[in-house]
Amino acid sequence: MEQEFHVVDAVSLRLLDSSPLNAEALAGRLGPGITAEIASAQLETATGICRTLGQVRAEVVAGRREAAAAAARYDATILPAATHPFARWDEQHLTLRPRYVGLLERWGLLALQQNICGCHVHVGVPSLQEAVQVLDRVRPWLPVLLALTGSSPFHEGSDTGYDSYRTEWFARWPCTGPPEELGSAQAFDTLLADLRRAGVADSVADLYWDARPSDRFPTLEFRIADVCPRVDDVVLHAALCRSLVRVLSARAVAGDPVPRVRPAVLRAARWRAARSGVSDVLLDPQDGAPRPAAEVVRGLLAELRDDLEDAGEFEEVSALVDRVLVDGTSATRQRAALHRSGDLVEAARSVLRDAGRG
């Protein structure tokens, strides 16, 4: 699992563009699991390979503690929200790593405005062919994963009206969003070659799809989620991603047909999830009809129940789902903090409170 965080002043919670901290991260001096990100006021943590949800929880907590301790040396801390409630993009600068400089040369201002943080889950698969077959089948479920993780209601001091404005902000890049149905590893390679020829991708790393095969590991990488303040929500997201891979891989082996979803409907489902999270309706992955979000989320849980029970995870995952449906997402709590106080700083403090409660 990989998580991205904003680095903020420990008292004011303003974005902290710390060149020394960024330089340490860029040089790999903050520890093996902490790296620099595209923006200088960000840090990323990565776990090792986790085989149980307990391992996920322990490694996520340890990574956050290490990142917070590194930031504390500069009177800073980490803010686990997908957008900073009131910072502007120009309060940080581009991290001078060759890959990021290359992104600036290709994408211009988009690369400089990348002031968003996500949570990525890699799930092991034995081959590119299997990764593609699972990817084709998971597409309708990706918006449900997004709906459970929204933590970006504000952007540059404005209430966007979205649970996940990160999703909309990142959608300006041409290689983001739901992948098309591919069918085979060969088709994936052909598409990548076409995009390379078009000048928008040099490698798999340039495909910012909601999920993609990884070019670094033998995994399918889920990239759709906002970073979550609560560790419980991170664990839930990891559990759902892994269970989806297990279930859909088995269906691919059994020769079950790939769900047919029109690209326009899939984009609408993604927008709907980004807009209101679990507080309104979602489009049902089975038939595209709008239904109460809780009903659609529980539909996902029903799809995965047998697998989660076999893994001894159903009770924990079900309880974590219930908590999100009762409490709402981080976006809900950030808005509530703003409405109580009239102060976006309090919205940021609500993120830290969430992180402290697990």
Element (H, E) at 330: helix 330-341
- Roughly how many angstroms between the first and final C-alpha of the chain, as a whole number? 17
CB 287 within 8 A of CB 299: no
CATH number for the domain harbouring residue 147: 3.30.590.20
CB 80 within 8 A of CB 230: no
Compute the half-sphere exposure of residue 31: CA atoms within 13 Å on the CB side of its CA.
18
- Residue 257: the pLDDT is 95
Instruction: Give 292-311 pLDDT, tens digit per residue.
Output: 999 999 999 999 999 999 99
Give kind and range of the element (H or E) at residue 167.
helix 165-170
* Cβ–Cβ under 8 Å, residues 164 and 274: yes
The DSSP secondary structure of 172-228, one letter per residue, reads TSTTEEPPPP--SHHHHHHHHHHHHHHTS-SSGGG-EESEEE-SSSSEEEEEEEEP-
Task: Scan for tokens 């590991």, then name that residue.
Answer: 217
Angle between helices 293-310 and 231-253 (to 10 degrees): 70
Assigned token pair, 26: 């860029």
Q: How far is CA 114 from the centre of its chain?
A: 14
Q: What is the number of domains present in the chain?
A: 1
| pTM (predicted TM-score) | 0.97
pLDDT in tens, 147-171: 999 999 999 999 999 999 999 999 9
What CA–CA distance (Å, rounded) separates 199 from 193? 10
Say what the pLDDT of residue 145 is. Answer: 98
Q: Give one word for 317, left, alpha or beta, with left for phi > 0 and alpha for psi -120 to 50.
A: alpha
Full domain range(s) for residue 166: 2-357
Are the CB atoms for 62 and 86 separated by under 8 Å?
no
How many helices (H) does the chain have, and how many strands (E)?
14, 13
Cβ density class 25-48: b for 16+ within 10 Å, e for less: bbeeebbebbbbbbbbbbbbbebe
- Residues 6 or more apart in contact with residue 239 via CB below 8 angstroms: 53, 56, 308, 313, 316, 317, 320
- Pairing, β 208-209 against β 176-177: parallel
Residue type for position 166: R
Q: What are phi and psi of 7, to 5 degrees?
A: -100, 125
Spans in the chain with pLDDT lower than 50: none
Measured CA distances, 38 to 35, 95, 205, 235, 262 (Å): 10, 5, 13, 25, 33
* Cα gap 335→275, rounded to integer Å: 14
